[in-house]
Structure 1
Amino acid sequence: VLGREQFLVGEFPLSQYVSIRDHICQGQLQPFQLVVVPKEKIDVEIDSIYGSLMESGNRPTRTSISASTLNKKKSLNIVSSWNINENLKIKIGSLGKVNVEADISQICIEAGLYHSGSPLCQTFFTAPVCVEEGDAK
């Protein structure tokens, strides 16, 4: 990006870059000026930081984990979030030890997806539920 120390590296849609989304969300009328720079001139690590997760030899291991836990981890299929085209589903079973004022009888939970403190989508609220003696179900 011209005039900034920001580089758009990789073959990804422009909408996936935080700086582009922020520029659009702020309603700035002046467009970005993009300049092509050979990647050899950019001092950045292009490899995905998640690539090493795919290689079993690079996975960190701890001796305090039981053998059954290690067997479960070996069977995990690790997928990049960029390759997931399904909606995220979260099911909340219950809440415990909830501190609320005496006059509040119902609560709800607000949830959203964030990256580096920036929301990736709108937040959603659960339906209100009753609170009895610090428990909500």
Structure 2
Amino acid sequence: MRAKTTRMTKQKRIILEILRNTDCHPSADWVYEQAKKVIPDISLGTVYRNLNVLKELGEILELNYGSTYSRYDGKANNHYHFVCENCNKLVDVDMPVYQGLDKMVQDTTGYQVKYHRMEFYGICDECLQKMAAEQR
């Protein structure tokens, strides 16, 4: 098994900085476009490889909601997300993670729960405002 230590290359550092300086939970293609501004000769394959390494190191989260592509989060601590079913906006939910849920599942199943992820789905405030304006 490979040890979870790796050298922080310029590419990894730039990709990590990009993700930690945005709240938009971008796709790998978006990260690639941003990284090209700093490292013009970086390849899309390099971005994908480094995203996977950063995920394995626990530096970032990969968010996959059954779509054709993943989105990435530079905030690696466990937190909740809200997904707008209208515009597909993905945002962090600013509330504490309910640790009691881990214990409930563990007590019910006997499984060892390490953590949980939770997403909320609905319509964001911007889409609700647009919908209300269209109804007037």
Question: Structures share a fold, TM > 0.5?
Answer: no
Sort the TM-score into its range (normalised by shorter chain): under 0.3
TM-score (norm 2): 0.23
Which structure has more relative contact order (CA 8 Å, sep 6+)? It is 2
Pick the structure with greater CA Rg: 1
Q: What TM-score do the two structures reach when normalised by structure 1? A: 0.23
